[in-house]
Amino acid sequence: MSGQDIRITGPAGDFSAYLATPASGKGPGIVVLQEIFGVNQVMRDRCDALAEQGFVALCPDLFWRIEPGVDITDKTKEEWDKAFSLMQAFNPETGVEDIAATITHLRGMDACTGKVGAMGYCLGGLLAYLTATRTDSDASVGYYGVSISDRLDEAKNITKPLMLHIAGKDQFVPPEAQSAMHAGLDDHPQVTLYDYPEDDHAFARPEGEHYNEKSAALANQRTRDFLKTHLG
């Protein structure tokens, strides 16, 4: 497995992305969608882990229109303040355009089988949902996505499998928003929701404040099985 930074051409310009390729040199593609901390070590590690599982993983710099190359952690107040300011400045509409360009780029790579999915966390969880509603991703997974309940009218556009992991005690997704997600998505034939009732936001972020190894392992296994099923 090897990791490297590459460039992708999108509708509004070029941006960077971290690419991890499996040792076999070929596999299904996964677009990894960042949290609010940019393409940082957590995201690179996630790509590397996916490559070890046989996927070609590509994590685009979705903050490039605001500030290219954001790479911060969740360890200091200054970094949190910056992360929230970036999230407030971020436009999901143009973000999805960059994701679509990333999917197209990945699908065209020699290392990719042609099947491409997406998975994201936090802000990336919302973007995984929007990737399912607005792009030709073959399968999408969102972990504790924010503000999905505000966009449930788009669920009718989902034509490929989508899995969402919901943290029951998510400080950024209140119970009424979680209830709305279930009401709007439970009956959708392409959507699977999993609840983690005792977990807070970012329970699957290693070394994060709310990391729960047991819940993370369960969610990650469900994700692996889902992606293997739908991407081959």
pLDDT of 1 over the 90 cut: no
At residue 156, the pLDDT reads: 98
Per-domain residue ranges of the chain: 2-231
At residue 207, the pLDDT reads: 87
**117: closest CA among 33, 19, 209?**
33
Size of the chain in residues: 232
Q: Mind listing the pLDDT tens digit for each residue in 148-200?
A: 999 999 999 999 999 999 999 999 999 999 999 999 999 999 999 999 999 99
Q: Mind listing the pLDDT tens digit for each residue in 118-134?
A: 999 999 999 999 999 99
Q: Mind listing the pLDDT tens digit for each residue in 8-57?
A: 999 999 999 999 999 999 999 999 999 999 999 999 999 999 999 999 99
CATH superfamily for 2-231 is Alpha/Beta hydrolase fold, catalytic domain (3.40.50.1820)
pTM of the model: 0.96
| Sequence-ordered alpha helix ranges (H) in 59-202 | 77-89, 92-107, 123-134, 175-185
The residues that are catalytic are 170, 201
Q: Rounded to an integer, what is the distance from CA 81 to the centroid of its chain?
A: 21
